[in-house]
Amino acid sequence: MRNKLNIGLFGFGCVGNGLFDVLNKSNLLDATISKIVVKSPNKTRSIGSEHFSFDKNEILHNEEINVVVELIDDAKAAFEIVSEALSRKKHVVTANKKMLAENLDTLLALAKENKVSLLYEASVGGSIPIIRNLEEYYNNDSLSGVLGIVNGTTNYILTQTNYGKDYETALAEATALGFAESDPTLDVDAYDSKYKLLILIKHAFGVTLSPEQIFNYGIRNIKPQDVRYASEKGYRLKLFSRGEKVENKLVGFVAPHFITEDNVAYNVNNEFNSVTVEAMFSDKQLFQGKGAGAYPTASAVLSDVSALQFDYSYEYKKSNNTENINFTNDINLKIYAGASNLAALDIFQWIEKEEIFQGKDYAYVTGIVNLKNISGVDFNKEHDLFFAVLPE
């Protein structure tokens, strides 16, 4: 039997607005948004003021509201709202990857204790239905890897640099097009991609990592010489959120990767996102779609709301079987690293060097490094150099 859903919505920005529209347009759900709580009293809104409140308790203390949809841009406030909603036995749908990544186990325990659902399909890959697929379709033993392009801003910038634009111009365009966060550090230094990887790993392999365990290196230091190197070799650059399980060893990190034409993600360009799922028998499968924007993201939120009509919740079955899985950064990677001079590249503790080039004001080395030996360095702050993982 379908449950009647009475929704309290937090946030009426890009995604909140989108949800209001798609819910009213779709007519498919027996669901009503009965109150919307926002922050600023002085903003002009696209719908009447009777819909809004600035007091979170108008939703949280309302016994009639059985679903809270949290779509605000403040992870700390979101955590308070979501925790209280779960404690008050309301189901929660959220798109807030930072809040989830920082508090996943606490929130799951609260949901379990109060016998309510916490769903968050929109938090990774926007419109791509990846979390429920990882959760329901792939079992733990056969799944060996998830490889995500899960940040539209960086994928847009990398695509445009490939067409000859410099980094600053491409970032300004991504901001103007509404893809970039107001503080683009989260995008370009790969924090956003790391939060999403943490969520992917939870549903792929059952393990909860902390954000601090996952190495994240973004794209802010890319130079035209690095782009030229890639195009001479026929590579494209992608920022990959990479989770891999080999027997009992689990590896997870975010870094730029050069990929060749035969990679299934080669043509995932601009603001599009993808997740490649690798499993023992099905080989590689590519999920691709719009990773951001009002309607694509709202469509994933809507799908979660719809699932609540049938009492759906994630079961986290894989989490019951993780005691022998060891997270490690002990993995050898073949990388390219470019800088203004060769000495700057000694930071990498090379296990083996394959190619060494020294020009007038640009040098590069390719070779093997171990992630464990470099993961203590914040390479986002090493502005003179750029590195990317090479195809195996």
Q: How many CB atoms lie within 10 A of CB 139?
A: 11
- The CB-of-152 to ligand NAP minimum distance in angstroms stands at 8
- Identity of the residue, 73 or 173, whose beta carbon is nearer to ligand NAP in the bound complex: 73
* 197 lies in the binding site for ligand NAP (CB under 6 A): no
Q: Which is nearer to ligand NAP, 93 or 388 (CB)?
A: 93
Q: Which of 384, 391, 340, 329 is nearest to 366 (CA)?
A: 391
Q: Does 16 sit near ligand NAP (CB under 6 A)? A: yes
Binding mask 78-117 for ligand NAP (x = CB under 6 A): -----------------xx---------------------
Q: Which two tokens stand for residue 139?
A: 């079992």
Closest distance to ligand NAP from the beta carbon of 218 (Å): 17
Active site residues: 196
Count residues near ligand NAP (CB under 6 A).
24
Rounded to 5 degrees, what are φ and ψ at 80? -65, -45
Specify the pairing of strand 386-389 against strand 332-339: antiparallel
The reply on whether position 292 binds ligand NAP by CB under 6 A is: yes
Q: What are the φ and ψ backbone dihedral angles of 82, each rounded to 5 degrees?
A: -65, -40
Q: What binding mask, one character per residue, do residues 47-76 give for ligand NAP by CB under 6 A, x or -? A: ------------------------xxxx--
Piece of 32-40, 195-203, 233-241, 259-267 that binds ligand NAP (CB under 6 A) = 32-40
Least Cβ distance, residue 123 to ligand NAP (angstroms): 6
| CA–CA separation, 51 and 70 (whole Å) | 16
Position 11 contacts ligand NAP (CB under 6 A) = yes
List C-alpha distances in Å: 344 to 336, 347, 352: 13, 7, 16
| C-beta of 96 vs 274, nearer to ligand NAP | 96
Instruction: Tell me the torsion sign for CA atoms 70, 75, 78, 82.
Output: positive
Residue of 13, 129, 145, 211 interacting with ligand NAP (CB under 6 A): 13
Which residues of this protein are in contact with ligand NAP, per CB under 6 A? Answer: 10-16, 37-40, 43, 71-74, 77, 95-96, 122, 126, 292-293, 297
